[in-house]
Structure 1
Amino acid sequence: MTSPAPDAGVYISPAQTHAEVRRIADGQIRMEAKLDAILGDQREHRETIADHESRIRHLEANRWPLPTISAVGAIIAVVASVVPLIH
């Protein structure tokens, strides 16, 4: 096969076309690998966030006794200090 004359325009050989298609395919493979890595990291972060969320909810649910205990202690202290004054 002979190449066309120089004034016929741009000529891209099948080998050049194949090389460009391979380059694009290799780039797509690299992007897919990076995307898979990002999605894997995202899953790990979701699990970590869910774990932290459950821990925070547990801490919030169990902190209510502390103010109640403080209030009861304050009431007992007030009663203890008022009782001698009444007698």
Structure 2
Amino acid sequence: MPDGQVALALAELRSALEVGFARMDGQLALLVQRSDQTDKAVAELEERVAALERTRWPLPTVAVLTSITAVALTILSLTRT
């Protein structure tokens, strides 16, 4: 194989490698961008859940209030008879 053909084959191989690496670099950049967006969405969701947890009424408190109301109504009905 003459030297010119070897040099041409090496140049073609180098070009193919550069194109492949550029394509992989672009795909990796896209994956990093999607990962960043996912991280941001998860952080926003965690903030929303935390806000909901802070503002919800605890179930035991509702049960106690219901019980107190029932006892008060029972006592009221017994005293009126």
Report if TM-score (shorter chain) is over 0.5: yes
3-state SS of paired residue (1:56): helix
Does 1:3 find its partner at 2:2? Answer: yes
Q: Which protein is richer in helix relative to its size? A: 2
Higher RCO (C-alpha 8 Å, min separation 6): 1
Cα displacement (A) at 1:65: 5.1
**Cα deviations by residue, 1:61-84 (Å, 9 ceiling, x for unpaired):** 111356424421321221220343
1:15 aligned to which of 8, 22, 28: 8
Unaligned runs of 5+ in 2: none
Does 1:39 find its partner at 2:37? Answer: no
RMSD after superposition: 2.4
Largest Rg, 1 or 2: 1
Unaligned runs of 5+ in 1: 5-11
TM-score normalised by L of structure 1: 0.75
Does 1:48 find its partner at 2:47? Answer: no
For 2:30 and 2:37, the matched residues in 1 are separated by 11
Q: 1:8 is matched with which residue?
A: none
